[in-house]
Amino acid sequence: MTPRALKSKKHSISYAKWGYRFIAPFFLVFAVFQLIPLLSTIYYSFFEFYRSGLKEIGPNFIGLENYRQLFTTDLPKYMGNTVLLWIIGFVPQIVISLLLAAWFTDMRIRMRAQGFFKTVIYLPNLIMASAFAMLFFALFSDNGPINSLMLSFGWISQPIRYLSNVWTVRSMVGLMNFLMWFGNTTILLMAAVMGVDTGLYEAAEIDGCTSHQMFWKITMPLIRPILIYVIITSMIGGLQMFDVPQILTNGKGSPDRVATTIIMYLNNHMFSKNYGMAGAVSVVLFVISAVLCLVVFSVLTREDDGLTRAQRKELKKKGGKA
């Protein structure tokens, strides 16, 4: 083994330039289409810079004025909306997904037709969110199929105006987000649960643990990293919530802008070409996302045993040689 290890070491020196060549396109495109735009977005967030009719005002440096304006006017409301809409979809999602993951991996009570269930519950994730929202809009319109069905069953005496009521609009957005994401979360959590050493469950069973205890005392602690990953990535996804409320409410967030999310607000500024304000909204979004990204980063580069990926690789190498 040793001569080969030596050889690969020698090679690694002469091949180094290939490493740079192979990763160059990625970093070049990243710099041009993401990094430079991000820097210019941050830069313009400190300027008065918008279009009024055909005239372009600015850019005039105004310091933090855009931010002050954001936080004293609409942004807190839209942040609240975004968080609330996310929670309405996420809480049922994580509860159902954990439940399904536990059931699908339950060795004692085997469920049949798992392949079918997984196929069906993952399906909504692939549906175009804007088309899904358009479908909900049509189905829940005042004389749409849902009202028509409920009337014919005699459940209601007159059509419900789903799209004009605060809580029905919120519930619809939440329901759509739930339907689109619970299948995905279930499959991720299932993979995590199946990664748990089955010997632990066998030992627990011998010790007389109930399945309830096994779930809370073995499964939950051991799938914690993936659970954190799921929660944080879902938060980042929630921050980006746009297609569903935008199409459902035609960009208005109606009634009374309760369904206007941060990205819808950003989108409005972009369309009215208010670059200063759009920049400031983006920076706020960037700061929140950066914090969440750091959490994801630490989860992904740390293994369950507390070692970093690099350390683990080192161990693997040593193990391979031995």
Partner 1 sequence: MKTHHNTRGGKAAGIRLFFRYILMAILCFLCLFFFYILIINATHSHFEIQRGFSFMPGSSFLMNLKNVLNDANIPVLSGIRNSLVVSGMTALLSVYFSALTAYGIYAYNFKFKKAAFSIIMLIMMMPTQVSAMGFVRLITVIGLKDTLVALFLPSIAAPVVFFFMKQYMESNLPMEIVEAARIDGCGEFYTFNRIVLPIIKPALAVQAIFTFVGAWNNYFLPALVIDSANKKTVPILIAQLRSADFLKFDMGKVYMLVTLAILPVVIAYLLLSKFIVRGVALGGVKQ
Q: Scanning residues 209 to 228, which ones bind partner 1 (CB under 8 A)?
A: 225-226
Tokens of 223: 């799938």
User: What's the Cα-to-Cα distance from 219 to each of 99, 195, 199, 205, 226, rounded to whole Å?
Assistant: 12, 10, 12, 13, 11
95 part of the interface to partner 1, by CB under 8 A? no
Axis crossing angle, helix 145-153 with helix 129-139, rounded to the nearest 10: 40
Q: How far is the CB of 79 from partner 1 (least distance, A)?
A: 15
Cβ atoms of 31 and 269 closer than 8 Å: no
Torsion of CA 39, 42, 45, 48, to 10 degrees: -20
Total residues binding partner 1 (CB under 8 A): 116
Residues in contact with partner 1, shown as a per-residue x/- string from 172 to 211 under the rule CB under 8 A: -------x--xxx--xx-xxx-xx----------------
Q: Which of 19, 76, 80, 221 forms a contact with partner 1 (CB under 8 A)?
A: 19
164 part of the interface to partner 1, by CB under 8 A? no
69 part of the interface to partner 1, by CB under 8 A? no
Cβ atoms of 223 and 111 closer than 8 Å: no
47: β partners: 61
120 part of the interface to partner 1, by CB under 8 A? yes
Cβ atoms of 67 and 149 closer than 8 Å: no
Stretch that binds partner 1, among 68-76, 77-85, 135-143, 201-209 (CB under 8 A): 135-143
Q: Which of 85, 172, 239, 259 forms a contact with partner 1 (CB under 8 A)?
A: 239
Give CA–CA dist 141/267, Å, rounded: 25
Phi, psi of 61 (to 5 degrees): -65, 125
How many residues in the chain? 322
Q: Please report, as a single letter, which amino acid is at residue 313.
A: K
Q: Which of 8, 198, 210, 311 forms a contact with partner 1 (CB under 8 A)?
A: 8
Give CA–CA dist 97/100, Å, rounded: 5
Give CA–CA dist 199/190, Å, rounded: 17
78 part of the interface to partner 1, by CB under 8 A? no
Stretch that binds partner 1, among 60-68, 71-79, 101-109, 214-222 (CB under 8 A): 101-109
286 part of the interface to partner 1, by CB under 8 A? yes
Stretch that binds partner 1, among 59-67, 76-84, 125-133, 154-162 (CB under 8 A): 125-133
294 part of the interface to partner 1, by CB under 8 A? yes
Q: How far is the CB of 53 from partner 1 (least distance, A)?
A: 19
Instruction: Indicate the residue among 256 and 304 with the shorter CB distance to partner 1.
Output: 304
101 part of the interface to partner 1, by CB under 8 A? no
